[in-house]
Amino acid sequence: MLQNIGLPGILLIAVVVLVLFGKGKVSSLMGEVGKGITAFKKGVSDGTAEIEKERADVAKDVTPAETAAKDKV
């Protein structure tokens, strides 16, 4: 159903939305969408950095447990 909209249909929908909600409301709504996208990207990058840090911490200690116990004594 949505594959047949095309450019004229999208423009018509944009005009109807603009008439119904007004320029100010649409502008503020798009600003909120932009903030949401920015927050999502920041969350994804923070999660990726946390996972990479955990992997780096695990990769640092390559000494077998038995050898490490003997060295500490």
Q: Taking all residues of the chain, what is their mean pLDDT, rounded to a whole number?
A: 83
> 41 versus 66: which is more confidently predicted?
41
Q: 43 is written with which tokens? A: 């969350």
Q: Looking at the domain assignment, is residue 7 inside a domain?
A: no
Q: Looking at the domain assignment, is residue 35 inside a domain?
A: yes
> The tokens 């990207």 sit on which residue?
41
Reported confidence tier of residue 68, pLDDT bands at 50, 70, 90: low
Region 6-31: mean pLDDT is: 88
- Residue range(s) defining the domain that contains residue 44: 22-59
User: Does residue 5 carry a pLDDT above 70?
Assistant: yes
Number of domains in the chain: 1
Q: Cβ(9)–Cβ(1) under 8 Å? A: no
SS3 5: coil
Q: Looking at the domain assignment, is residue 4 inside a domain?
A: no
Reported confidence tier of residue 3, pLDDT bands at 50, 70, 90: confident
User: Does residue 73 carry a pLDDT above 60?
Assistant: no
Q: How far is CA 65 from the centre of its chain?
A: 39
> In degrees, to the nearest 5, what angle opens at C-alpha 36 toward C-alphas 55 and 40?
10
> The tokens 């990769």 sit on which residue?
59
